[in-house]
């Protein structure tokens, strides 16, 4: 496992959102160190800022200029909870670069984890919101495309719906976006009927879940929707938007996952990637606001990627929200019929 990190991720300060704190960075790094001590083969990697041409494949040039300028001028804000300081542009472009590094590791045969902040999945082509400035998962996908990869899946297990990632690829049939998220909840998107448009119809897969869902419900979403769709789509690369705010101890999320839950998700998805002959997983940190839970969950994820999954998940057809997604998506995916 290659782990990408940079001290710049601690210098970005969002004064409008105390929970998205600089301390999240060392807390997540401590998780990778914990996995390393437990025997996971962690190799530390440095980051380069994302090249301008890849950033421009995702974001409008005017938007990039605006974020850059705000940061150069010493800071500012993009929305009510998304603030910048003088280090934010450097941190955001390095975080996108870390995601590119993680994809390069995956394409060379080694799973990778980008430990970066600010997070990315709420940022769209011409907007930043929800603590996010640049969409690192989208940058990672565009980078993979520039390297000749044609089918990419982005699976988002952050407690929030990744509206920015969904928007960016909504009409795109080459990038499959899958999300399980708390609903109703911020940012209000991610309804089961949001399935994509034009060539992208069917390539947006949302499983909105009620508050207080635990690992059994998530396992049903994976087994009942995500895994069959991934087997049918057969992405060459699977990018994970790995947020940890669905942990039961999180300050923002209202879900009931444990650190070990994320380890099992990672083990299962790594096994699916092997089965469909995709490259190893590229994981990108998104949210996660309880520092101790963040450390434990990152550790469990990294260990999980290296482990064989303990047992096959079975979908029993008894979870209403999962059934709703299967029904809406069945016209697009034979495996859901």
Report the interface residues with Zn ion, using CB under 5 A. Answer: 158, 160, 243, 245, 287
- In degrees, rounded to 5, the angle at the alpha carbon of residue 139 between the alpha carbons of residues 95 and 183 is 85
Choice between 128 and 287, CB closer to Zn ion? 287
Crossing angle of helices 291-306 and 24-37, rounded to 10°: 40
Q: Going along the chain, which residue ranges are E strands? A: 2-4, 43-45, 75-79, 82-85, 112-114, 152-156, 175-182, 204-209, 237-242, 282-285
Choice between 143 and 160, CB closer to Zn ion? 160
75: region left, alpha or beta (phi > 0 left; psi from -120 to 50 alpha): left
Residue 16: beta bridge partners? none
Going 92 to 94 to 98 to 101, the CA torsion angle's sign is positive
| 20 secondary structure, DSSP code | S
223 Cβ neighbours under 8 A, 6+ residues apart = 313, 314, 315
Choice between 36 and 245, CB closer to Zn ion? 245
Q: How far is the CB of 232 from Zn ion (least distance, A)?
A: 28
Q: How far is the CB of 245 from Zn ion (least distance, A)?
A: 4
Query: Which residue from 195, 202, 203, 149 is spatially nearest to 176, judged by alpha carbons?
Result: 203
Choice between 2 and 160, CB closer to Zn ion? 160
Choice between 31 and 243, CB closer to Zn ion? 243
Q: How far is the CB of 131 from Zn ion (least distance, A)?
A: 8
Choice between 45 and 122, CB closer to Zn ion? 122
**CB count in 10 Å sphere of residue 293:** 25
Q: How far apart are CA 105 and CA 1, in angstroms?
A: 9
Q: How far is the CB of 115 from Zn ion (least distance, A)?
A: 16
- In degrees, rounded to 5, the angle at the alpha carbon of residue 334 between the alpha carbons of residues 332 and 335 is 120
Q: How far is the CB of 154 from Zn ion (least distance, A)?
A: 15
Q: How far is the CB of 239 from Zn ion (least distance, A)?
A: 16
Write the DSSP assignment of 164-222 as a string of letters. HHHHHTTT-SSEEEEEEEESS-TT----TT----GGGTT-EEEEEE-TT-BHHHHHHHI
Query: Which residue from 114, 84, 86 is spatially nearest to 98, judged by alpha carbons?
Result: 114
Tell me which residue has its CB nearest to Zn ion: 287
Where in the sequence numbering do the catalytic residues fall? 122
């Amino acid at each position: 496992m290659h782990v990408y990190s940079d001290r710049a991720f601690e210098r970005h300060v969002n004064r409008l959102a105390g929970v998205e704190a600089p301390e999240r960075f060392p807390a997540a790094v401590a998780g990778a160190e914990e996995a390393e001590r437990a025997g996971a083969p962690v190799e530390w990697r440095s980051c380069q800022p994302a090249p301008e041409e890849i950033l421009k494949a995702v974001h409008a040039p005017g938007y990039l200029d605006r974020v850059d300028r705000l940061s150069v001028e010493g800071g500012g804000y993009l929305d009510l909870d998304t603030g910048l300081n003088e280090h934010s542009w450097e941190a955001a472009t390095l975080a996108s670069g870390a995601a590119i590094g993680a994809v390069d590791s995956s394409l060379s045969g080694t799973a990778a984890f980008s430990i970066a902040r600010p997070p990315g999945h709420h940022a769209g082509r011409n907007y930043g919101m929800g603590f996010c400035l640049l969409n690192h998962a989208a940058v990672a996908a565009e980078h993979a495309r520039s390297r000749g990869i044609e089918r990419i899946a982005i699976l988002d297990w952050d407690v929030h719906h990744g509206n920015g990632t969904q928007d960016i690829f909504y009409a795109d049939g080459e990038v499959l976006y899958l999300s399980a998220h708390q609903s109703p909840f911020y940012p209000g998107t991610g309804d089961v009927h949001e399935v994509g448009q034009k060539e992208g119809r069917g390539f947006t897969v949302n499983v909105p879940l009620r508050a207080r869902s635990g690992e059994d419900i998530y396992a049903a979403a994976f087994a009942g929707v995500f895994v069959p769709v991934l087997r049918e789509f057969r992405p060459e690369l699977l990018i994970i938007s790995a947020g940890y705010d669905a942990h039961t101890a999180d300050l923002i999320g209202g879900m009931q996952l444990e650190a070990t839950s994320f380890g099992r998700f990672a083990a299962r998805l790594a096994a699916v990637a092997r089965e469909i002959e995709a490259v190893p997983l590229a994981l990108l940190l998104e949210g996660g606001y309880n520092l101790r839970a963040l450390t434990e969950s990152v550790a469990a994820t990294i260990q999980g990627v290296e482990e064989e999954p303990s047992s096959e998940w079975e979908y029993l057809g008894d979870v209403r929200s999962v059934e709703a997604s299967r029904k809406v998506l069945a016209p697009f995916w034979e495996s859901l019929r």
